[in-house]
Copies of this chain bind each other. A is one copy, B any other.
Amino acid sequence: MTVLVNGITCKNPSWVQANDIYYSGMHIRGNTSNAMGSSVTLAFVFQIPGLNTLGISLARLDFAPWGVILPHTHPHATEILTILEGQIQVGFVTSNPENHHFSKVLNKGDVFVFPVNLVHYQRNVGNTYAVAMVALSSQNPGVIPIGNVSFGSKPDISTDILAKALQVSDDVISNIQTKF
Contacts and interface: CB of A to CB of B under 8 A. Distances in A.
Q: How many copies does the complex hold?
A: 6
Please indicate which of the listed interface residues A55, A99, A147, A165 has the most CB atoms of chain B within 10 Å of its own CB.
A165
B102 A18 contact: yes
Interface size class of A (residues with CB under 8 A): 35 or more
A101 to B, nearest CB: 4
Interface string A146-165: 11111111111110111011
Interface in A121-145: 121, 123, 133, 135-137, 142-145
B75 A118 contact: yes
Interface in A3-17: 3-4, 7, 10, 12-13
A25 to B, nearest CB: 5
Contacts of A180: 167
Contacts of A108: 27
22 contacts: A3-B3, A4-B12, A22-B104, A22-B111, A23-B111, A43-B80, A54-B116, A54-B137, A56-B136, A58-B80, A70-B161, A73-B75, A75-B95, A96-B145, A99-B148, A99-B152, A99-B153, A100-B153, A100-B154, A103-B155, A119-B149, A146-B146
Interface of A: 1, 3-4, 7, 10, 12-13, 18, 21-28, 35-36, 43, 48, 50-51, 54-58, 68, 70-71, 73, 75-76, 78-80, 82-84, 89, 91, 93, 95-96, 98-104, 107-113, 115-119, 121, 123, 133, 135-137, 142-158, 160-162, 164-168, 172, 175-176, 179-180
